[in-house]
Each structure stands twice: as structure tokens, then as C-alpha cells.
Structure 1
Amino acid sequence: MGRVVLIGAGPGAEDLITVRGLKLLMQADCVFHDALVSPSLLSEAHPDAKLVAVGKRCGQKSTAQHFINKQLVEAAEQYKLVVRLKGGDPMVFGRADEEITALKAAGHTVEVVPGVTAALAAASSLQASLTLRGVARSLTLTTPSVGSDETPSTDLFTGTENDTVAVYMGLRQAGPWAAALLEKGRNANTPVILCESVSLPAEKFTPLNLGRLPLFSAEQLTDGPCLILIGKALAKACVELQLLKHNPEEIALPDFFRAA
């Protein structure tokens, strides 16, 4: 009976995987990997390891989760060490629970190695703390993305005006959920940063405010994954990004932007 390890590959850059994760990747007999895992990171796998792509990309053909579960169980019966390499952290919107449950039900040993999730990598690139003394005391990780058997919801999160929110896989549905936040009284000038291809050479940050987010078109972005950060703690980063773009009139800066 094989050993299966779920490893967080990090947000994109190949050198953001943990040391433990890299060591296990180099020892694995079989590696199941997401679509966004860096090819250069996959090249670190053992030369004899079998590489199996099981990635999911929004709007594109992907491997069904139940089939991934089945493949993992079968691989654990065939190989000594099986690695499931997931983008970001396995336990944050990674459907890890379904894979762990299937493997344990089949009697296999499962381990998890954490990874750097996109929200934390984006904050590091921006040099913007997601929690800020006197401004933001909490951080919410959320997504509007649901399974095929679930009803879409625009009720993403609750909390105070000062909370920081990281929205994963939410750009295509940004219109409805951003409008819902505004209807609930969220300030239209709340800072928003669209974070594309975080930690990669092509990473890009676009400052907005919540009032403009429902009007933003996903077609203006690249094909890379996009994380949306929202909250007053991002005020200083928004101002700096606007200055870098040499177009400070693009968004209306509220008082707390100027004071940051």
C-alpha cells in the first residue's frame, strides 16, 4: 500500500514550494499535478517519476474530481510514494478533503504539506499587510465559485467595513457579488486590487475601487489566474500603484487613501 502526500506548490513561482515539499517531489514515483504548476518545478521530480496532469482551469476542459480521486487510489496501490501537487495551499480551495476522504476510505496513508496561498504571495509582492493595526483585524478568504450541483450565491462574506477580503476565482462573477456588497452598504471607495499571475514574472496588479469593480471586464486581463483583494488595509498599495501608472485620476481616492 502506497503513501500519498498532498503538497502545496505555491502560487506559481517554482522556488516558493517548501523545502519539505520539494524533497518529497524529488523522491516520488508518481506525481499528479495541477495545470498551474510550473513546468520548471515539475522538472525537479525524479527522472523516473510518472507525471499525470489533472489540472482544472476555469472555462476549459478539465479532469473530473471523482476521476482524480479514483486515479489517486489506484496509484497508491501501484507506487510506493505518490505526490498530489496542488497550486497554492492544498487546504485552501484545493478540494483536498475529497481526495483525502477517498484515499482514507481505501485504506491508504495520507499526508499534507502546506504551501503559500495566493493571497499571502500577493500581499508580499505588494508589500501590503492584509491585517493592519487600527485598520484591519481580520482576513477572509472566499470564492463565489461553486460546484455544478450548487446554487450560485452573491453572499460571499460578512464582516465590518474594515475587514480585508481575498476573493479567489471570482473575477468572472465580480459584477453580481460586487453589486451585492454595494447594496448592503459597503463603501464604493473601498480599495480593490486585481492580482494576476502572482509571484510569476508576468504578475500584474490593477488598482480599482469597489464601485468600479462591477464594470470591470475580465477581457482586459491576461489568461493567468486572478485574485481580488478588497479592504482599507490596501489603501497605501492602491495609491502607490496609481502613481506608478502615472494616472492618479483613474479612481476616486477617498480620504483614508490620502491618509495612508
Structure 2
Amino acid sequence: MSESAFPRTHAPARPGWVYLVGAGPGDPELLTLRAARLLLEADVVVYDNLVGQDVMACVPAGVERIYVGKKASNHALPQAGINALLVEQARLGKRVVRLKGGDPFIFGRGGEEVEELVQAGVSFEVIPGITAAAGIGAYAGIPLTHRDFAQACIFVTGHLKDGSVDLDWAMLARRKQTVVFYMGITQLPTICAELVAHGLPASTPAAVVRRGTTRAQRVVTADLATLPEAVKAAGITPPALIIVGDVVGLQPRLAWFHPEDAA
């Protein structure tokens, strides 16, 4: 089926506009149709560390690329600089795609960037993406909700702005829910210990998924008592997602994506 078979409900990318585009969790086939079209229409793509090479391969060769990636304590460009860059590029009359891993408004600092664009009087559009929790949970074989095991799902950052992990542990440690920690792998021992200290059984199933939805995906499952050691033994490093809850116990039976079989 050709692209022309899909209806276009938005205007093509416009000069002087910024498009905050969610790139999804890594698999380029999880890009939305709107996101894929904007990558083809952009003059410049401003992208971060969580946008993988497979997704960037969808950007045409003649499009300018500006890397502004962030890793722990290592920012290619501080957030204030990124905000200013977006305004600058738009005022030059460019069609600017700000490409973000996952969804721009779920732990993607999209809200901060939009605030700056509004203040500067720059026109913008936000294109949602499949957030990491949804995409990675699906590819890892972990349903985030299940009538028998989890009637709620919570997304939480495992790394606050000040570098701490001071969270509402009593709320996070309730039964019959799934908790997904973004950016928490370096705090994994603390996260597991606090959840147990606030009431979750040490036997609660938990998982860490690295580079989910891609050919580099790795899944480590254990329980809260043993997950930190299992992750250390497996050599797992960021970026990775932590999923805690009884739904993780379904993973061995429901896992369907096997990276070694991917094309």
C-alpha cells in the first residue's frame, strides 16, 4: 500500500514552525504516519540520545541534523540551550523537527520546550509517539494491565531533577498495580529496597528491559530481592526501563519478540 493511500489530515511542515515529534521506543516501524511524513519534510532535525540509528535512517540525506543528546551527567547541550536552539532555527525560517525518543510529553521535557516556544511566539505542533513503557512492555511480553493482576499502571521517573530518587514510595508499593520506572537503572538497588521497605513482598516479579523494541533488546526478569544482582551480572546499562508488578510473571509465556530472529 502506498503512502498516498493514507489520508492526510494535517498540513505539510511549514517554514518557521517547530514540530515536537515522538519517535517511539526504537523500532522505526513504530513511528506514526505523521512523524514519518514530517521527517521527510523537515529542513533540520534536532534529536537526542534515545533516538536510535534505525529511526535516524528514515531522515533524508539532505536534511540537517543537530545532536543534543543527554546521558546521565553528560549533556551535549543543556536544556536551556536546546530551547534557544529551537527558537533560533524556527526564526531562520526552517521547518524544525525536534525528534524525541518515546513521547514528547512523557518524561521527554516536551512541556519545557513548548513553554519556551510559546514565550518566543514560535508556532509549533506536538506529535505524540508510543511511549517507552507501552512499546517496550509489548515487545518484552509484559502487559502493563491485566484483569487478574493489575488494575492500574503508574509511570514514574527514577531520576529526579536534583539527581535524587525521593518518591512517594507508599503509593508506589501498593498491590494490584504495575509501576514503570523511566531513567532509573542507576538507582535500581534503591528502588527495589524502598518498594520492599514500604510493603511490597520481596518476591514481587520485576524486570529490566534494555533497548526495548530494537534488535539490541535484552530482558532480565527476577524479583525485587534479586533483580539488582541479576541486572549487574547481565551487564545491563542505560537506557533501560524497570517494570515492577505481578504482570511481569507472565513474561516467560507471553514473550513473542526475539531480536535474534529480527531482520
Q: Same fold (TM over 0.5)?
A: yes
Q: CA deviation at 1:151?
A: 4.9
Structure 1 unmatched ranges of 5 or more: 245-260
Q: Which residue of 2 aligns with 1:185?
A: 199
Could you say if the C-alpha distance between residues 152 and 130 of structure 1 is closer, same or farther in structure 2, counting changes exceeding 3 Å? closer
Could you say if the C-alpha distance between residues 144 and 43 of structure 1 is closer, same or farther in structure 2, counting changes exceeding 3 Å? closer
Q: Which residue of 2 aligns with 1:153?
A: 166
Q: CA deviation at 1:204?
A: 0.8
- Contact 2:158-2:185 at 8 Å conserved across structures: no
Could you say if the C-alpha distance between residues 138 and 184 of structure 1 is closer, same or farther in structure 2, counting changes exceeding 3 Å? same
- Contact 1:30-1:79 at 8 Å conserved across structures: no
SS in 2 for 1:194: strand
- Indicate whether 1:107 and 2:121 are aligned: yes
Q: Which residue of 2 aligns with 1:90?
A: 104
- Indicate whether 1:130 and 2:144 are aligned: yes
Q: Which region of structure 1 is more displaced relative to structure 2, 29-38 or 192-201?
A: 29-38
- The percentage of aligned residue pairs carrying the same residue is 33
SS in 2 for 1:173: helix
SS in 2 for 1:202: coil
Q: How far apart, in 1, do the equivalents of 2:33 and 2:142 lie?
A: 25
SS in 2 for 1:198: coil
Q: CA deviation at 1:37?
A: 1.5
- Contact 1:29-1:79 at 8 Å conserved across structures: no
One-letter amino acid of the counterpart of residue 193, structure 2 = A
Q: CA deviation at 1:59?
A: 4.4
SS in 1 for 2:46: strand
Q: Which residue of 1 aligns with 2:89?
A: 75
Q: How far apart, in 2, do the equivalents of 1:156 and 1:169 lie?
A: 17
- Contact 2:140-2:212 at 8 Å conserved across structures: no
- Contact 1:191-1:238 at 8 Å conserved across structures: no
- Contact 1:4-1:76 at 8 Å conserved across structures: yes
Of 60, 63, 68, the match for 1:49: 63
Q: CA deviation at 1:8?
A: 0.6
Q: CA deviation at 1:235?
A: 1.3
Q: Which residue of 2 aligns with 1:200?
A: 214
SS in 2 for 1:172: helix
One-letter amino acid of the counterpart of residue 184, structure 2 = G
How many residue pairs match? The answer is: 241
Q: How far apart, in 1, do the equivalents of 2:234 and 2:72 lie?
A: 16
Q: CA deviation at 1:143?
A: 1.4
Q: How far apart, in 1, do the equivalents of 2:59 and 2:139 lie?
A: 27
Q: Which residue of 1 aligns with 2:189?
A: 175
CA RMSD of aligned residues (A): 2.2
Q: How far apart, in 1, do the equivalents of 2:176 and 2:150 lie?
A: 5
- Contact 1:193-1:228 at 8 Å conserved across structures: yes
- Contact 2:27-2:54 at 8 Å conserved across structures: no
One-letter amino acid of the counterpart of residue 155, structure 1 = D
Structure 2 unmatched ranges of 5 or more: 1-14, 259-263
Q: Which region of structure 1 is more displaced relative to structure 2, 217-226 or 53-62?
A: 217-226
Could you say if the C-alpha distance between residues 41 and 128 of structure 1 is closer, same or farther in structure 2, counting changes exceeding 3 Å? closer
Q: How far apart, in 2, do the equivalents of 1:46 and 1:79 lie?
A: 19
Q: CA deviation at 1:116?
A: 1.2
Q: CA deviation at 1:132?
A: 0.6
- Indicate whether 1:8 and 2:22 are aligned: yes
Cα offsets for 1:22-54 (capped at 9, x unmatched) = 101110111100123223432332433211001
Q: How far apart, in 1, do the equivalents of 2:131 and 2:74 lie?
A: 22
- Contact 1:197-1:204 at 8 Å conserved across structures: yes
| TM-score, with structure 2 as normaliser | 0.84
Could you say if the C-alpha distance between residues 134 and 220 of structure 1 is closer, same or farther in structure 2, counting changes exceeding 3 Å? closer
